[in-house]
Amino acid sequence: MTTLRRLVDDGVSATEAARTLKIDRSTAYTALAQRLAGVFGLPSGEIALQSEAHSRLIPVRRR
């Protein structure tokens, strides 16, 4: 998890970080969503990650 966060914080896309770490992309997105949920003080089920151009991650509140 620490390496995943470091890669993404350094500007590597979640997809590329998952490839580098040899984990599923969905696992990487789930781990990052859980991290963001903690940052925002929300239950992990309340945060989803939406990717857009350039593989940037945007936290969005689930409806």
Q: Which residue has the tokens 């580098």?
A: 20
For the stretch 7-18, pLDDT in tens is 988 989 888 999
In this structure, the chain runs to a length of: 63
SS3 11: coil
Q: What is the dihedral of CA 26, 30, 54, 13, to 10 degrees?
A: -80
Per-domain boundaries in the chain: 2-61
pTM for the model stands at 0.63
> What tens digit of pLDDT does each residue of 16-27 get?
999 999 999 888
Enter the DSSP assignment of 12: -
